[in-house]
């Protein structure tokens, strides 16, 4: 299979392109037209988002946002569980950041947390670094991340960040077909309130094996 590449934004690479005054002014006008940054969340998202954003394709053209489904289980005096999803808009922040900023900003030292994420793409370098720091700080937090696709997995910085995640105790895995079915049943909003059976796409197993092999190469 061909190698997967996702083009990083300027903010991810840190590279600045030379601009003349006219181009700079034009860029400023374009930025002013953008709506405010927003993190969208809830319990379920439209099924067509799942079919496009979570598809484990080699080339992720047009998939420029992250969908993160989460399940949080707590054990202790206040045992319980809750779930939902987050999606990010534009490049100002990412869904991974939003989870720790809005959903689980602190961890009660008297509780144990088991958190599972189902994410459309693996974390970028800054998000992976922050996740590792949070896990190292909160020993009562266990995080498993299942991803549909690997983001820029060939880049040395990205490989180092994924290895750091593993070292911090994060369980990073590639989604199997049954994981996609779980998301479909529990997070995708069915049309007209009628639950429909999950229909796997033609290359779902092949692409799972491809990404599983690449992740294994990175982590070992």
Hey, which residues are catalytic here? 96
Distance spanning both ends of the chain, measured CA to CA: 21
Q: What are the DSSP calls for 36-53, one per residue?
A: PP-EEEES-EEHHHHHHH
CA distances for 157 relative to 154, 161, 167, angstroms: 9, 6, 15
Alpha-helix residue ranges (DSSP H) falling in 1-114:
10-13, 21-33, 47-53, 95-98
Which run of H or of E encompasses 167? helix 156-167
Q: What is the DSSP letter of 105?
A: S
Half-sphere exposure of 27 (CA within 13 A, CB side): 8
**Beta strand pairing status for 141-149 and 112-121?**
parallel
Q: Which of 130, 129, 126, 133 is nearest to 92 (CA)?
A: 126
Buried b (16+ CB within 10 A) or exposed e, 174-210: bbeeebbbbbbeebbeeeeeeeeeeeeeeebeebbeb
């Amino acid at each position: 299979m061909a190698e997967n590449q996702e083009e990083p934004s300027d903010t991810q690479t840190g590279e600045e392109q030379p601009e003349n005054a006219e181009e700079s002014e034009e860029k400023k006008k374009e930025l002013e037209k953008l709506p405010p940054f927003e993190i969208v969340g809830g319990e379920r998202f439209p099924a067509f988002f799942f079919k496009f954003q979570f598809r484990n394709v080699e080339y992720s053209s047009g998939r420029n946002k992250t969908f993160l489904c989460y399940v949080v289980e707590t054990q202790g005096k206040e045992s319980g569980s809750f779930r939902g999803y987050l999606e990010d808009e534009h490049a100002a922040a990412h869904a991974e950041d939003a989870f720790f900023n809005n959903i689980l900003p602190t961890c009660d030292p008297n509780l144990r947390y088991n958190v599972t994420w189902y994410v459309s793409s693996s974390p970028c370098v800054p998000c992976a670094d922050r996740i590792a720091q949070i896990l190292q700080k909160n020993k009562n937090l266990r995080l498993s991340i299942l991803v549909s696709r690997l983001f820029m997995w060939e880049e040395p910085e990205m490989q180092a960040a994924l290895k750091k995640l593993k070292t911090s105790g994060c369980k990073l895995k590639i989604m199997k077909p049954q994981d996609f079915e779980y998301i479909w049943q529990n997070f995708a909003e069915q049309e007209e309130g009628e639950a429909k059976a999950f229909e796997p796409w033609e290359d779902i197993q092949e692409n799972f094996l491809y990404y599983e092999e690449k992740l294994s190469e990175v982590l070992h």
